[in-house]
Amino acid sequence: MDLDYIREFVVLAEIGNFQKAADELFISQSSLSQHIKRLEAQMGSPLFNRSKYPVQLTPFGQAFRPYAEKITRTYQECSYDLSLFSDKGQRCLRIGTNILDRYHISTYIAQFRRIHPDMEIRLFDNEDDELRNMLRHNKCDLIILRMPEKEDSEFISVTLQEDPLVAVLPISHPLASRFSIPVSDLKDETILSTNDGTLINMLFRDMAKASGFDPKISVLKTVGTVLSLIQCGNGVGIIARSMCIEMEDLAIVELESTRSIYANFLFPKDENIFDAPNMFLDFLRTKSLEFNR
């Protein structure tokens, strides 16, 4: 029997819909249907009653399901354990993130490499959804993402850093001398943000809505461009605190009842945290970082 066919059987049995199961498996519906038919031919009996909606297991399929789940689970555990070794037989840590340049992450990884020269570290850079999918399908040991909340509904979440939103104003602005301001004070301002700040824009729109107005947001390419325009009096910036750099003629002002971005490590809920990622977390704890498990 083909192990991939058995894994596809398990997913289809769980979802009960060929198209949705195919989407989950990243194959076409026709391919999934063919694979299930081949598995049924190998087993010598139908596994699904296709006349029902959602599709239902036959009695034979019900009897086979716990064995198929055990086979799939054992294969995944074996695959994971072996993947922790590189081609040279070294232990391997697979990290997925698209924020290597933030929160000192690249520095921490470099320091960890020096402490554990016998461990290979593989880095994957991709969009958030693809990184989640890699973690979901055991292609990463952990991923590091920016999120609007500390917790995650699908994965275990460990917070590396909380990054609150702040306002950046020209020093000549009437609000620049204030330690903090309510969001409502910005209702008549042109808000400047960056095109990598989608999460920031979402959070600020929520804050503005709670204060009774719809913000006027101009999206620019880089943080440097945003800060230069603010310096010349062209608007007020809303950025994460970690993005702030020292510039003359600029003031950083706290936002009352602000929202934060969270730089989080994510792990699968249904897996143990194995040696390599656990070692990395323990190393970060020695750096006096605050974690929330």
Q: What is the CATH number of domain 91-159+263-286?
A: 3.40.190.10
- Any idea where the domains of the chain sit in the sequence? 3-82, 91-159+263-286, 161-261
pLDDT tens digits along 139-167: 888 999 999 988 888 888 888 889 999 99
Residues 182, 169: Cα–Cα separation, whole Å: 14
Neighbour-count burial of 219, counting CB atoms closer than 10 A to its CB (0-12 exposed, 13-18 middle, 19+ buried): middle
Query: Which CATH code of 1.10.150.120, 1.10.10.10, 3.40.50.20, 3.40.190.10 fits the domain covering 3-82?
Result: 1.10.10.10
Would you state the pLDDT for residue 174? 94
Residues 273, 250: Cα–Cα separation, whole Å: 44
Query: How many C-beta atoms lie closer than 10 Å to residue 59's C-beta?
Result: 10
Q: Is the pLDDT of residue 75 over 70?
A: yes
Three-class SS state of 91: strand
Q: What percent of the chain has pLDDT over 90?
A: 49
Residues 241, 239: Cα–Cα separation, whole Å: 6
Continuous segment of H or E residues that includes residue 264: strand 260-268
**DSSP secondary structure code for residue 214 in this structure:** -
Would you state the pLDDT for residue 292? 42
Q: What is the CATH number of domain 161-261?
A: 3.40.190.290
pLDDT tens digits along 223-251: 888 888 998 899 999 989 888 876 778 99
Higher pLDDT, 137 or 289: 137
Q: Is the pLDDT of residue 88 over 70?
A: no
Would you state the pLDDT for residue 147? 92
Higher pLDDT, 278 or 14: 14
Residues 152, 122: Cα–Cα separation, whole Å: 24
Q: 110 has which bridge partners? A: none
Query: Which two three-digit tokens encode residue 100?
Result: 């290597």
Would you state the pLDDT for residue 293? 40
**Is 0.85 topped by the overall pTM?**
no
Would you state the pLDDT for residue 64? 95
Higher pLDDT, 6 or 278: 6
The whole-number average pLDDT for the span 44-56 is 90
Would you state the pLDDT for residue 282? 79
Question: Any idea which residue has 């706290």 for tokens?
Answer: 254
Would you state the pLDDT for residue 81? 64
The whole-number average pLDDT for the span 101-105 is 87
Question: Residue 291 — very low, low, confident or very high, per pLDDT cuts 50/70/90?
Answer: very low
Confirm whether 91-159+263-286 and 161-261 share one CATH topology.
Answer: yes
pLDDT tens digits along 18-34: 999 988 888 889 999 99
Continuous segment of H or E residues that includes residue 135: helix 128-136
Query: Which two three-digit tokens encode residue 24?
Result: 């989950």
